[in-house]
Structure 1
């Protein structure tokens, strides 16, 4: 189980040992719910898509690299894109080699960003799970330090520093709506808030890893498809995310691709916030009525990433 103390330790490590200026304290934008056309009294937008590497993943990946000795062969990761970009950025900042395995579903924009960061990019398999298997086989040969996209203690604790940052700036929201892929982000956020704020899990209908695990009573493999599959394309909820959400998260909701696309368009057209589909699930839950705030509720939405092809905003 990830604890608040683990997140405090991660925060201290990132601040004291990390490359100066690498991570950003991302803005928290507080708006009346009416501004967004939703029923919440207040909506807090945590603009984590402005984080270095374009997603929250930079926190956990850097924490992992700082917490472990890195061999001469460097680091290796399998990723739909964001974890790989974050690992590559952290590796470059620390001056170590990086190899990234991505599935065929990963956008070319993400692959190009990986190459710009100096990573060796291997495109393997139709899904993240297949890329992960190839990555693990390669790691056995190279001996590189493996960073997992969502299921390592240092990665989850690093993600939790985002929640710590929200509370330090603005206190406790009433609820936090969090997109779920493999469960690293929600694991860190829920571990920090410890039910002092209601954490709600959101997944696309085409990638329901947590929702199906709850139906089955344990993590199970699911088929993955849909608008956010490149970011939320884990086939199974991670062990850490499963453990934390079972203890700390009450609701797990599914959202259709149309609702996600509409919310993403709203964020761009009305607020000029350019985010990937995974970052729009919170607003989609409010706009679609999947999540209905109580009167006076302050709802925090985590805009978790912005690594995408800009042409998809048109």
Structure 2
């Protein structure tokens, strides 16, 4: 198992400079900072890992003529297809049939060959593995690869430079790529990481409980992005380090947080991004109404919540006037 280091993240930052958009920040509900990473190329943080992965292989001369292949719930596939198109490389993307139509359409817009397999990410991943073995295509991964995780970690480096005195960064967790990269960089700088998962997509939390990666059910409203059946060993190692807190939230809190972002900031994000915000107990909130294991920041704590993606259908958001 590769244990991600800060040097991996620093190398990724050098490798991807000029290939990705710097993160934008905004004030969010309760006075926390919001990292608007949904404004990244392809609509999610995944562009960072995809660029780091392909740039590293290009420099090493290890990009095959058969191109690159990846299995994804949608966002990682979008990022891989986008990065491949920019590098003149063919991309084949395997998705579960439950992937949102908006993501499938955008994938084809990036020139990728799309193959829909099964109802869960795990089934698409198995088909992708068979394909790469048969064709020699370069196998990428949605989260369980050091180059992918290190690329995601570059996000924290940008946030830290923009928020002096940052105490805590809050991220949603699926398979653990974003979490691994961010937590690795955050620990280097003495910053706490809060890892938030849906109660019914708790791959990292279950791994911590079991002491090893284990399979979990995938039944959340955020499953299209956070629906990994098991967390990576890299993520488990990062989660065991000092300064990490694991938090679970119900789907009702995720839906509510997504609506709050729309009502108060006119920000439209996917449920995975809202999951991170849902993990925070609001200042002054009655503990009986807060998430069962929510993270409650101190009054003077500098907190940044990563809004990781916005490849979503906004039609289920309820119209309303923003608060003054």
Please say whether Structure 1 and Structure 2 have the same fold, judged by a TM-score greater than 0.5. yes
Residues 76-101 of structure 1: per-residue CA shift (max 9 Å, x gap): 00000000000000011111100000
Q: Could you list the runs of 5+ residues in structure 1 that have no partner in the other structure?
A: none
**Contact 1:172/1:197, CA 8 A, preserved across alignment:** no
TM-score, normalised via structure 1 length: 0.93
Distance across 1 between alignment mates of 2:52 and 2:109:
22
Correspondent of 2:20 among 14, 20, 23: 23
1:1-314 pair list within 5 angstroms: 1-15=3-17, 22-30=19-27, 36=29, 38=30, 42-68=31-57, 69-194=62-187, 196-286=190-280, 287=282, 288-289=290-291, 290-314=294-318
Distance across 2 between alignment mates of 1:142 and 1:310:
38
RMSD: 1.3
Q: Could you list the runs of 5+ residues in structure 2 that have no partner in the other structure?
A: 283-289, 319-324
Once the two structures are TM-superposed, the CA of residue 226 in structure 1 deviates from its matched residue by: 1.4
The DSSP-based 3-state class of the residue aligned with 2:300 is coil
Q: Which moved more, 1:59-68 or 1:164-173?
A: 164-173
Once the two structures are TM-superposed, the CA of residue 248 in structure 1 deviates from its matched residue by: 4.2
Distance across 1 between alignment mates of 2:317 and 2:111:
27
**Contact 1:45/1:300, CA 8 A, preserved across alignment:** yes
**Contact 1:62/1:90, CA 8 A, preserved across alignment:** yes
Pairs aligned (count): 301
The DSSP-based 3-state class of the residue aligned with 2:123 is helix
Distance across 2 between alignment mates of 1:104 and 1:249:
38
TM-score, normalised via structure 2 length: 0.90
Residues 30-74 of structure 1: per-residue CA shift (max 9 Å, x gap): 45xxxx2x3xxx411000000001000000011001111211111
The DSSP-based 3-state class of the residue aligned with 1:273 is coil
Distance across 2 between alignment mates of 1:81 and 1:250:
27
**Contact 2:175/2:231, CA 8 A, preserved across alignment:** yes
The DSSP-based 3-state class of the residue aligned with 1:178 is strand
Residues 99-125 of structure 1: per-residue CA shift (max 9 Å, x gap): 000012211111111111111100101
